[in-house]
Structure 1
Amino acid sequence: MTSNEKIPQLLVVKCSTETVSDEEQQHQQHSISDTVTDSSGRSNLGGTKIQITSCSGQEGGQSPSKIDSSVVQSNSSGHMEVKGTFDYAVKTVGPLSVCHVPATLNNSTKVKISYKGIPGSYSEDAVLLAYPRCETVPSDKFEDAFKAVELWMADKAFIPIENSTSGSIHGNYDLLFRHKLHIVGEVQVPINLCLLALPGVRTEQLKRVLSQHQALTQSDTFLSKLGVVKEIVDDEAVSAQLVGSNKLEDVGIIASSRVAKMYGLDLLTENIQDAVDNITRFWVLSRDPLVPRTEKHFKTSIVFTLEEGPGELYKALTVFAMRQIELTKIDCRPQRKKPMKVVNNIDSGTAKYFNYLYYIDFEASMAESRAQCALGHLKEFASSLRVLGSYPWADVSKGQQLPSWCFENSKQ
């Protein structure tokens, strides 16, 4: 039995853009390049249309049922045309897979938040903890969650960026760099890993345990003592569907307690994670940046590149230290389009080194003069610099919540 058998297929929404002129098409291609740009850069594609065709993964796919007739028209070829205005030009590559198409594309009182997974996943749990009044928009992949916001299918995206046990989710750093979304909030959520099984099944009867890679890694000690075979699936809620629909009595899953209620499973034991404090950081992403404020619990995230030379990274970090700005995260990723660089070294001659993008989070708002001065100083020797967002953060385990204006539909 594989993890893909008897799992309901997600709705595949094929999106394509048609522009009104060659000049706009060139601007669109430029806007999605991997070049680091200033976060305030925008493009105007008022004449762009989105064409949406529904597919169910097999012949005879039905059209999405929740599309407002006021924004959908049928063209001469029989395709549905959804008219909307983009804040940023988007080059769509391949199909966009999401489980949900919103009722309208205009602003509404109920904020739509996209996430990777299906209902019951840990990401959806985090979304509902941060903003319980929202409408969740499941997505097949992380990139689909980004595209859902860019294509106005969702207002915000909720993306995990780091776990206290397994570390950074580097693929999401790459997506954040390639897509023109802005960080408008951070939520730190405690993760409670639970062992679930069919009703009546005891722990000692289990021979296999299914879950996503991170959940299996974070509960390795518990599972080793149990002596079960660990099998990776793409989503913990998907594994619940698999076990429930196929009545697999010797198979357990690791998921949240909410999954047990949703899919008719029993909770055998909880808090099986190896580390007592198992925290995941999630970023709230939006099409528009948040206007920075001087309130407490504000962070700023940036990405920059440096020319080769002695002490360049040291100088970059010094601009923050000399202004008493605390760095909360430092990470780096090879540049996708130019991963290597050739350097002339006095001792060894010509050598090749990795060409990095440097990501930094620091505790200060861009509304503060010290943050503005630090970035102004950094720009003097950084070859490129981009502000990913200046935003509030909250620790759910301490009863903190993001302010409601982080989730508002209207531009701040």
Structure 2
Amino acid sequence: MSLKVAYQGERGAFSEAAVRKILGEASQPVPYRSFEEMFESAASGETDCLLAPIENSLAGSVLKNYDLLERHELTIVGETYLRIAHSLIAPRGVKIADVRRVYSHPVALAQCERFLRANPRMEVAQAYDTAGSVKMVVQEGRSDEAAIAGRSAAEVYGADVLAEGIEDHAQNYTRFLLISDPSRIPPVHETASASNGKKTTIIFRVANKPGALFRSLAVFALRDIDLSKIESRPIEGRPWEYSFYLDLIGDVADSRIRKALAHLEELAESLRILGCYERAQSIHLS
């Protein structure tokens, strides 16, 4: 039986391609309209796991998914990077000179700001998904509307590609996290280089006083542990106080990592390990 994997979006979305990349063609991607619904499906057992975009090399972090990670008792079991190449897509027969409104997900629009600034006649309109935007403009069939999405969405919905490679920079990648209930961890298909090793993601809180965050991060610096990402999110009901998400390079089974986390636990108000997983293959810049 194929693995049911929740993702946000419609058929033809980048997230669907990422599911295939990390779990193989035998997986069964299941689309959901929102990130909340996607997380709920994996938490309830409706799907086996989910694949969530967590950060983009141009637009930055997908903050909503950090909040949902904290809210659910799920664990990160893998990661993958996907090259994001955007196209301007419209119903068949539409000419680029006639386009007056462009739909897409806010993150995709942020990744194509230079193209949109260069075409000021095109009004920008936000939508819940890239591929869903293509589906919508094809269904509407207007001659003055288009969408920004991956080329595969044009193939899925029978649309024309008016312009390709419209993202701000060719080095446009999205990092996705594979997340599941700890009791049903799926096998990761994507081959990870043996030299990549493990990555561990944690969330912690510290007292709101001078030097607290510095001392917390020092537990890793003192042990030469590489930190690859840090993100802060506001704590609900505690204005101007924050939770900190941290990606560190290493395995929780390693004594250095164990000691650093034990040291951090002494300093922090709370500490939770969100996952320890194989690092994705390195991105080769060209």
Is the TM value for this pair above 0.5? yes
* 1:339-395 Cα distance to aligned partner (Å, 9 max, x none): 23xxxxxxxxxxxxx221111111111121111010011111111110000011214
Aligned partner of 1:369 in structure 2 is 255
Aligned partner of 2:188 in structure 1 is none
CA deviation after TM superposition for structure 1 residue 144, in Å? 1.0
Aligned partner of 2:202 in structure 1 is 302
Paired residue secondary structure (1:120)? coil
Aligned partner of 1:110 in structure 2 is 2
* 1:138-194 Cα distance to aligned partner (Å, 9 max, x none): 112111111111111111110011111111111111111010000001111111111
CA deviation after TM superposition for structure 1 residue 209, in Å? 1.2
- The gaps in structure 2 that reach 5 residues or longer are 186-193
Measure the CA separation in 2 of the matches of 1:396 and 1:360: 19
Aligned partner of 1:79 in structure 2 is none
- The gaps in structure 1 that reach 5 residues or longer are 1-108, 341-353, 400-412
Match of 1:229 among 105, 116, 123: 123
Superposition pairs of residues 180-195 of structure 1, within 5 angstroms: 180-195=73-88
Measure the CA separation in 1 of the matches of 2:283 and 2:204: 32
Aligned partner of 2:29 in structure 1 is 136
Aligned partner of 1:166 in structure 2 is 59
Moved over 6 A (4+): none
Measure the CA separation in 1 of the matches of 2:158 and 2:281: 31
The range that moved more, 388-397 or 204-213, is 388-397
Measure the CA separation in 1 of the matches of 2:81 and 2:13: 16
Paired residue secondary structure (1:204)? helix
CA deviation after TM superposition for structure 1 residue 279, in Å? 1.1
Aligned partner of 2:276 in structure 1 is 390
TM-score by length of 2: 0.90
CA deviation after TM superposition for structure 1 residue 130, in Å? 2.1
Superposition pairs of residues 62-211 of structure 1, within 5 angstroms: 109-131=1-23, 132-211=25-104
Q: Is the 8 A contact 2:196 2:281 kept in 1?
A: no
Distance 1:297 1:249, change over 3 A: farther
Match of 1:255 among 135, 138, 149: 149
Paired residue secondary structure (1:127)? helix
Q: Is the 8 A contact 1:162 1:280 kept in 2?
A: yes
The amino acid that maps onto 2:166 is I
Aligned partner of 2:172 in structure 1 is 278
The amino acid that maps onto 1:168 is S
Match of 1:380 among 266, 274, 283: 266
Measure the CA separation in 1 of the matches of 2:179 and 2:4: 12
Paired residue secondary structure (1:221)? helix
Measure the CA separation in 1 of the matches of 2:86 and 2:36: 25
Q: Is the 8 A contact 1:189 1:395 kept in 2?
A: no
Q: Is the 8 A contact 1:210 1:239 kept in 2?
A: yes
The range that moved more, 149-158 or 237-246, is 237-246
Measure the CA separation in 2 of the matches of 1:271 and 1:397: 19
CA deviation after TM superposition for structure 1 residue 397, in Å? 5.1
Measure the CA separation in 1 of the matches of 2:210 and 2:153: 53
Q: Which has the higher contact order (CA 8 A, sep 6+)?
A: 2
CA deviation after TM superposition for structure 1 residue 278, in Å? 1.0
Q: Is the 8 A contact 1:302 1:387 kept in 2?
A: yes
Superposition pairs of residues 236-251 of structure 1, within 5 angstroms: 236-251=130-145
Measure the CA separation in 2 of the matches of 1:264 and 1:180: 40
Q: Which has the larger radius of gyration?
A: 1
Aligned length: 274
CA deviation after TM superposition for structure 1 residue 240, in Å? 1.5
Residue 82 of structure 2 corresponds to residue 216 of structure 1: no
TM-score by length of 1: 0.64
Paired residue secondary structure (1:288)? coil
Q: Is the 8 A contact 1:189 1:397 kept in 2?
A: no
Q: Is the 8 A contact 2:76 2:275 kept in 1?
A: yes
Supply the RMSD in Å over aligned alpha carbons: 1.8
Q: Is the 8 A contact 1:208 1:230 kept in 2?
A: yes
Distance 1:396 1:195, change over 3 A: farther
Aligned partner of 1:269 in structure 2 is 163
The amino acid that maps onto 1:244 is V
Distance 1:395 1:364, change over 3 A: same
Q: Is the 8 A contact 1:161 1:169 kept in 2?
A: yes
Q: Is the 8 A contact 1:206 1:250 kept in 2?
A: yes
Measure the CA separation in 2 of the matches of 1:134 and 1:260: 22
Measure the CA separation in 2 of the matches of 1:324 and 1:123: 34
* 1:11-46 Cα distance to aligned partner (Å, 9 max, x none): xxxxxxxxxxxxxxxxxxxxxxxxxxxxxxxxxxxx
